[in-house]
Structure 1
Amino acid sequence: MTDTETLSKLRGVISKLARELNATATDEGLTPTQASVLGLITFRGPLGLTELAQLEGLNPTMLSRVVGRLTELGLIQRDPNPDDLRAVRVEATDAGRRLHERVKLLRTEALGACLDQLPEASARTIIDALPALDDLAQSLRANR
């Protein structure tokens, strides 16, 4: 198995990549957390607030603030849950879906530009590692 120092470096690199990619959302006026919640709602919605909090790993107070702001911006809407009228579900509006697509495009373009600046062997190594990195992400999710 891999030593602790190598695992720590891997974690650090993943964190740096996430921070840099999250920063692209600020160009669209969203915090990284708001962009992440909007992306999840767009991809998986409509979602109940409890499920959204669990998926995003946010406490209810923080989620309430984020959902409130996204609602104010017209990016998501709250609807009664037809299965439980005491609860609400959130889903992306057309404006929210368009903004999410712009954020995804910005992130894709940023990655492409950076990969193009790397030596070809380094870029190829990263691309070739995608299946293994995806397996790692699935394993992390399964072990939560």
Structure 2
Amino acid sequence: MTAPDPGCPEPADIAGRLRTAIQHLLPVLRARSVRGDLTPSRQAALAALADHGPLRISDLAAHMGIALSTVSRMVDLLDGSGWIERNPDPQDQRACLIALSDTGRTLLDTVRHEAAARLAEQVTRLTPEEQRSLYAALPALEALSEQAARHP
């Protein structure tokens, strides 16, 4: 933890403003894609598999921070949609590993592209100075995101 900078606002003030901004941006990012059956939680599962997979169902639940029974039901739905594949775990033949299928990866890429396009549309409404400020803040936001992923 770094020492507070006397010229910088309090971390709690920064966090409060950031939380509010993120809450207002989430609907833009989570707007329904062409696939109405891809809920935000199912998309989060696909994203976790893209980032960390293949995974056992229990590991997917841990990455998502939700109950194993919930993830188990979700995996059945993802499998039924053809978005994932189940393969035997080479370490334990009684278990299986869940991975994105090609269809699931294509869907996730499409949804991410759509969300980025919606957000880009919002960014174009900012002034050039605001856009530069946002761009300059990206390294700090990315560092905050990586830190939060490592230490939730």
Please give the TM-score of this superposition, normalised by the length of structure 2. Answer: 0.84
User: 1:65-90: per-residue Cα shift (whole Å, max 9, x none)?
Assistant: 22111111011011111101121110
The amino acid that maps onto 1:112 is A
Aligned pair partner of 2:76 in 65, 68, 72: 68
Structure 1 residues 13 and 84: alpha-carbon distance in aligned structure 2, compared to 1, 3 A threshold = same
User: 1:15-70: per-residue Cα shift (whole Å, max 9, x none)?
Assistant: 33234312244x32210010111122133321111221111111112211221111
| Distance apart, 1:6 and its partner CA | 3.9
- Is 2:29 aligned against 1:28? no
1:1-144 paired onto structure 2 within 5 Å: 1=4, 2=10, 4-25=12-33, 27-29=34-36, 30-144=38-152
User: 1:82-116: per-residue Cα shift (whole Å, max 9, x none)?
Assistant: 10112111011111111111111101111211111
The amino acid that maps onto 2:25 is L
Structure 1 residues 103 and 116: alpha-carbon distance in aligned structure 2, compared to 1, 3 A threshold = same
The size of the alignment, in residue pairs, is 143
Structure 1 gaps of 5+ residues are none
- In 2, are the aligned partners of 1:42 and 1:96 still within 8 Å (CA)? no
The SS at the match of 1:91 is strand
The SS at the match of 1:28 is coil
Alignment identity in percent?
30
Structure 2 gaps of 5+ residues are 5-9
The SS at the match of 2:95 is strand
Please give the TM-score of this superposition, normalised by the length of structure 1. Answer: 0.88
Q: How many Å separate the matches in 1 of 2:109 and 2:66?
A: 23
| Distance apart, 1:3 and its partner CA | 5.3
The structure with the greater share of residues assigned to helix is 1
Q: How many Å separate the matches in 1 of 2:28 and 2:67?
A: 24
